[in-house]
Amino acid sequence: MRKIFWPLIVSISLALGILLGGFIVSASYRGKTGLYTNHNKLKLNRLIDFIEQEYVDNVDTDSIVDRTVTTILEQLDPHSIYIAKNELQSVTESMQGSFVGIGINYYYYKDSVAVIKDIKAGPSFKAGIEPGDRILAADGHKLSGKEITSDTIAKYLRGAEGTDVVLDVYRKTTDQNLKITVNRQPIPIKSVDIAFKMSDGRGYIKLNRFSSTTYEEFKEALDKLIKQDISSLVLDLRDNGGGYMEQAIKMLDDLLEKGQVIVKTVNKGGKSTVMKSKGTGLFTEKPLYVLINENSASASEIIAGAIQDNDRGTIVGRRSFGKGLVQRELMLGDGSAIRLTTARYYTPSGRSIQKSYKMGIEEYNNDFRSRYTHGELYAADSIKVADSLQYKTLKGRTVYGGGGIVPDMFVSIGNKHGDDTIVLLMKSGVVSYFVFQELDKQRAMFNKLSKEEVIEYVMSNDKVFKAYVKHLEGNKLFFKLDKRKEIVKRFLVGEFLSQLFSEEEYYTWMLEYDPMIKKIDSKLSK
């Protein structure tokens, strides 16, 4: 029996030894690489378990984990962020470019939903909802009162595509209570705010983000302008914080010659990917101006960098934000997600425009204050650039890396210090709210006015200006505006035109006084 089974026993023993040895080596390797056992993960899991099982008080461990994830990501870089599950839907909708709803802009005004205006040709517009209407209930669910939240409003106004919602509406202009049925439909979240041919023959496109629909919108707008035989194009990327890189790349395919470098990315492993223009030839010959400011970031900077480095057009404005990192969205399995930095990008000349974040996130986010202190918002020679980070454009011009795109033509934020504060104030929601309030007092009268009469109403005397100052003071906002009265009035006119007429009327008015547009005009007149 020994002679028969001994070879079999030896064979099995050798096989088990080989398997066991391989398992130990594999375990050792995995442990070293973090694939098999990670003691830090175990430590965090045990800590959460101890808190749940042993801590003296009841604790919401979900919120602890959320804060922990946020803290961990903050140690990496300013753009690796955590998105909680209750925030993910709105973030996703913003980047997808649409949501399903009834299509209104509204304020929660004096404890009720007050319609500012309908989205043109949207469900509410078609159903007969008017600016100034109060929506008191949706399908019998109350939408007025101090206890109502924005989440409650969204819950009942939004819904599945094609479903009806019955709204209880109070129309102040006619003192009527109405029941209006609105059919919910997809509502676009536009990337292109406006696209039109200016009076001087130039095309103008204002882009507010880079979502999944941005290129489609841009292409439609550019096609329309080309058919109108525009003499040049102004692409306004001011205050555009970026979004999907691939949308910017598609746009540059239409603006650059075939084969020109758009951007290079380098990942953790050092692998580099160079994206080049496919050269559709849609708009490659006529003059191009790209407007940027301190809030133009990410995909906006990819466009500005590619246009500048390839000497395709002129960059106008102030130094851009300085974000040269690429994020990827990763789901965490519980409805939440993170945006993790997975690569760096470089402009065609090879420069990284990522500003330093070695001093921490707070200092990083306070960069605007630093630029103001150093006078950069008012003078081009105050812009800090590193001479060691010089690069050359396609035609040999010197450009700089290390913190944003420095424009070819600098434009100050104002004529004197303090103008920046007023501009920021006048771009804030407080102006829109004030104008809605003024319209709500005399909507029947305002509805009869032409555009020219509205401009005259605001600009010819100080009645509206003084009401605005009083409104600010009532909200504990105290500014000395008398010396900047004309700036304030111009912004007020713009908001009146936007709420009463259209975005095109707003931009037509505002661009007439826009310092960046004036800078381009002065260059062309020489």
**Residues assigned a catalytic role:** 298, 309, 323
DSSP per-residue string spanning 73-114: HHTT-TT-EEE-HHHHHHHHHHHHTEEEE--EEEEEETTEEE
Q: How far apart are CA 395 and CA 435, in angstroms?
A: 49
Residue count of the chain: 526
For residue 79, list its beta bridge partners: none
Going by the DSSP 8-state scheme, the letter that residue 130 receives in this structure is -
DSSP character string of 186-219:
EEE--SEEEEEE-TTS-EEEEE--B-TTHHHHHH
Long-range pairs of 372-378 with CB within 8 A, sequence gap ≥ 24: 372/420, 376/318, 376/319, 377/294, 377/318, 377/412, 377/413, 377/414, 377/420, 378/412, 378/413, 378/414, 378/416, 378/417
Separation CA 46–CA 204 (nearest Å): 58
> Cα separations (Å) of 463 from 466, 470, 490?
5, 11, 14
Looking at residue 233, its amino acid is L
What angle is formed at CA 370 by the lines to CA 364 and CA 374, rounded to 5 degrees?
Answer: 150
Which residues is 450 bridged to in the sheet? Answer: none
Q: In angstroms, what CA-CA distances link 208 with 27, 73, 241?
A: 51, 27, 8
> Are 487 and 465 within 8 A, CB to CB?
no
With beta carbons less than 8 A apart as the criterion, state whether 477 and 431 touch. Answer: no
